[in-house]
A and B are shown apart, each in its own frame.
Chain A
C-alpha cells in the first residue's frame, strides 16, 4: 500500500486514497515491512483524516510509556554536546554519567584547578623573569619553580581526594549499597579525576620556565601520591589518608626549597622513591581492596 493509489475497504468517512484500517492496525502492531511503514508515515504526515484514524489504533498507555521514556532520555542529557563529544572519542555512556557525579570533575572544580595552576605558574614566570634580569647568566636556578612544584601535585591529589571523600559524595550510602561500588567505582572516579587534573598541571609545566623534563617528571609523583592516599584510606580512613599523602609531598618540597634544590624532589633518585611508593600503594590496594566493599562505616 502507498499513499498514492486509492485503497479499497477504507472507512467510508475517509473514502478512497487513504490508508485502510487493517494496514493502520498492522502498522501500529509493527507487523508491516519497512516500505509499507514509510508509505504509511508519508501519507499520515499529510493527511489529517488518516492521522485521526491512526490515533484510534494506538494504545494510550503504550503511548504514555513511550512519551515518558523520551522525556527521561531528554532529561538525562544524552544529547549534551560534551556527552556526545566524549561518546565520539569512545567513552562509554554510563562512564560519563558516573563522572558527572564526581565532584572534582564538575566545571566549577576544574576551573578552580586551572585558576590555581595559572596563579602559581604566573608567579613562577614572574620570579624567574625578575631573578634572571638581576643575576648574571650562569647555572640555571629553578628556585622560582618552588610554588608551582609545591602546589601542582597537591591540586591533583585534592581532585582525587574529592572523588573518594564520602563527605563530598551526597549519595555515598546509596553507592555503598549498590552492586557496582567499592574499589571499582572508586577507581573509575579517582582515575577520571586524576587525568582531568593532570591536564592543566602538565600543560602549565610545558609553559613555565623550567627544565624540559619537568612535565614528565611530575607524572610519577602525582600518581604515587594519589595511590598512596587510596591505599592509606584502607587503614586510616579517607580524610586522614588525604592529609597524610599531602604531607608526604609538602614536607620534602619545603625542605628542598630551603636548600635551594626544589627540583630534586622530581629528579632521578627521588623518582625511584616515588616509583617504589606507587608500587607499595598498589600492593596494599590489591591486598586490602575488600576494605572498600562494605562502604564507609557510619
Chain B
C-alpha cells in the first residue's frame, strides 16, 4: 500500500464555525478500499466528510479528488459524477415510494435514460435487501430500512468515491453484517470513507483507520496498529482499579481496565482497536499526569 498513489488527498484543511474550530490543519490521503473514520461527537468527522462530498468549503487547505479540484466549478461537477454520499442526517420526501425516491436521486446523478434508471434502482435495492419494498412509501419504513435506503442512494451509479457518514447507525446486527459484506464486495474497488462509532465495524472491514480528535488527525494506520497503541495499557483484575481511566466488567465477570500505568504485577492483556481508540481519545482529553478516575466508556449504545 505504501507506493500506491492516493486517490483523494487533503492538505492543511481547516474549517471554523464561529469560534469553533471544526477542522485544524488536517492532512490525509485516501486510497482505494475502505478507510474508517473514528472520533467522538464534535471531533470534525462530519465537516471533513461534507468537504469531501463538495457541499462544504474549507477556510484553508487543498483537496484533490482523483486529481480534480473541487474549488473549480467544472471539476467539482466531475467529482460529483463519481461520488456517492450518505449524509449523517438524511431526510426523505416522505410521499415518495422507495423506488420513486431512488429514481429521483438517480436523475440528480444524471442517469437520464428511464430503463437504465430502473435497472440501477433495482440493482441498489437488491444490494441493500430492500427489493421487495420498492413500492412502499418512505414514510412507512422503519429507521433501519431508511438507513439502508440512504446507503442504496449512495450506491447509485457505481461511484468511485463513497462518503458514508455513520451508515450503520440504526442497523441491527444482521443488517450490519450485510452492510460489511456489501462494502467488501463493491465492484470496481472504490475509495470509501466510512464514519462510525462502531469500532468493531471498522476493525472488520477497514484496512485503514483515521482517528480525528478535536479537529486534528491523531492516528492513521491499520486497526491492528490502533490496537497496538494500547499495548501494555489494558489489564484485568478481580476488583475495580480506581487508578484506571476506564473500567468495565467483562463477560467473564472480571474487571477490565484501561489506563496509562497498570499497577505492578497486573495481568496485562492484549488490547482491542476500540481500547486503542479510547486510550487515544483520553490522552488528548487530559494530560497523562491527571488524577486517575473512573469515567464511563464513550460508547454509543443502540
- Do A and B interact? yes
Which residues of A line the B interface, CB within 8 A? 65, 68-69, 71-78, 93-94, 97-98, 100-101, 106, 170-171, 173-181, 185, 290, 293-295, 297-298
- Given the known A-B contacts A94-B112, A171-B91, A177-B53, are A68 and B105 also in contact in the complex, defined by CB atoms under 8 Å? no
- Given the known A-B contacts A68-B134, A69-B122, A75-B99, are A185 and B108 also in contact in the complex, defined by CB atoms under 8 Å? yes
Q: Which residues of A contact B56 (CB under 8 A)?
A: 294-295, 297-298
- The answer on a CB contact under 8 Å between B99 and A294 is no
- The answer on a CB contact under 8 Å between B85 and A179 is no
23 A/B residue pairs, CB under 8 Å, sorted by A: A65-B122, A68-B122, A68-B125, A69-B119, A69-B122, A71-B131, A72-B99, A72-B103, A75-B135, A76-B99, A76-B103, A77-B97, A170-B91, A171-B91, A174-B105, A175-B108, A180-B107, A180-B108, A180-B110, A181-B80, A290-B73, A295-B55, A298-B50
Q: Which residues of A contact B94 (CB under 8 A)?
A: 170
- The answer on a CB contact under 8 Å between A181 and B134 is no
- Given the known A-B contacts A173-B90, A177-B85, A179-B77, are A75 and B109 also in contact in the complex, defined by CB atoms under 8 Å? no
- Given the known A-B contacts A77-B97, A97-B103, A180-B108, are A293 and B73 also in contact in the complex, defined by CB atoms under 8 Å? yes
Beyond known contacts A71-B131, A293-B73: 11 more, CB 8 A cutoff = A65-B122, A65-B126, A71-B99, A72-B121, A75-B99, A94-B114, A170-B91, A171-B104, A174-B153, A179-B108, A180-B107
- The answer on a CB contact under 8 Å between B108 and A174 is yes
Chain A: minimal CB distance from B21 (Å): 15
Complex interface bits, B66-94 against A, C-beta within 8 A gives 1, otherwise 0: 00000001001110110101010011111
Q: Which residues of B contact A176 (CB under 8 A)?
A: 54-55
Per DSSP, chain B at the interface is helix
- The answer on a CB contact under 8 Å between A100 and B104 is yes
- Which 6 A/B pairs are nearest by Cβ-Cβ distance? A170-B91, A178-B108, A75-B99, A68-B122, A75-B135, A295-B55
- Interface: B95 (CB within 8 A): yes
CA distance A98 to B103 in the complex (A): 10
Q: Which residues of B contact A76 (CB under 8 A)?
A: 97, 99-100, 103, 118, 121
Q: Which of B55, B98, B100 has the most CB of A within 10 A?
A: B55
- The answer on a CB contact under 8 Å between A101 and B93 is yes
Which residues of B line the A interface, CB within 8 A? 50, 53-57, 73, 76-78, 80-81, 83, 85, 87, 90-100, 102-105, 107-110, 112, 114-115, 118-119, 121-122, 125-126, 131, 134-135, 153
Q: Which residues of A contact B100 (CB under 8 A)?
A: 75-77, 97, 100
CA distance A28 to B45 in the complex (A): 51
For residue A103, which residue of chain B has the nearest CB? B93
CA distance A140 to B135 in the complex (A): 57
Identify A170's interface contact among B54, B92, B119, CB under 8 A.
Answer: B92
Q: Which residues of B contact A185 (CB under 8 A)?
A: 108
- The answer on a CB contact under 8 Å between B122 and A71 is yes
- The answer on a CB contact under 8 Å between B76 and A293 is yes
CA distance A284 to B25 in the complex (A): 35
Identify A101's interface contact among B81, B96, B109, CB under 8 A.
Answer: B96
Identify A179's interface contact among B50, B81, B103, CB under 8 A.
Answer: B81
- Given the known A-B contacts A77-B100, A173-B87, A179-B81, are A72 and B134 also in contact in the complex, defined by CB atoms under 8 Å? yes
For residue B98, which residue of chain A has the nearest CB? A75
Chain A: minimal CB distance from B163 (Å): 8
Q: Which residues of A contact B122 (CB under 8 A)?
A: 65, 68-69, 71-72
CA distance A69 to B56 in the complex (A): 35
Identify B108's interface contact among A75, A106, A181, A294, CB under 8 A.
Answer: A181
Chain A: minimal CB distance from B83 (Å): 6
For residue B88, which residue of chain A has the nearest CB? A173
